[in-house]
Amino acid sequence: MLTCSTHKKVYQTQEIAEEVLIETRIKFDKGPVAVYKCEDCGYYHLTSQGPVNERLAKYLASGKIKRQKEANDWLNKLKKK
């Protein structure tokens, strides 16, 4: 398991970190807004500071985040029946 002296979760690539960033936004409707490469470990972390990640911004603007959240909400409702 990869570790960092910052004790933040470590993602091996920017692409993986962006996927987690988008999944987090879908699941919680808030949270981190960007990805950065750590100077300590050389891997990627999520952050709530700075400008919104370009990929996340596109997903938000296009409505993909909202639609996926609604789809997940419906799936959860149907599972409870």
Is the per-residue pLDDT at 81 higher than 80? Answer: no
Domain residue ranges in the chain: 14-80
Mean pLDDT within 58-79: 92
Label the pairing between strands 34-37 and 44-47: antiparallel
Q: Count other Cβ atoms within 10 Å, centred on residue 21.
A: 25
Instruction: Encode pLDDT of 32-64 as tens digits.
Output: 999 999 999 999 999 999 999 999 999 999 999
Q: How far is CA 58 from CA 36, 54, 62, 63, in A?
A: 18, 6, 6, 9
User: pTM of the entire structure?
Assistant: 0.86
Q: Count other Cβ atoms within 10 Å, centred on residue 4.
A: 15
Q: Count other Cβ atoms within 10 Å, centred on residue 24.
A: 16
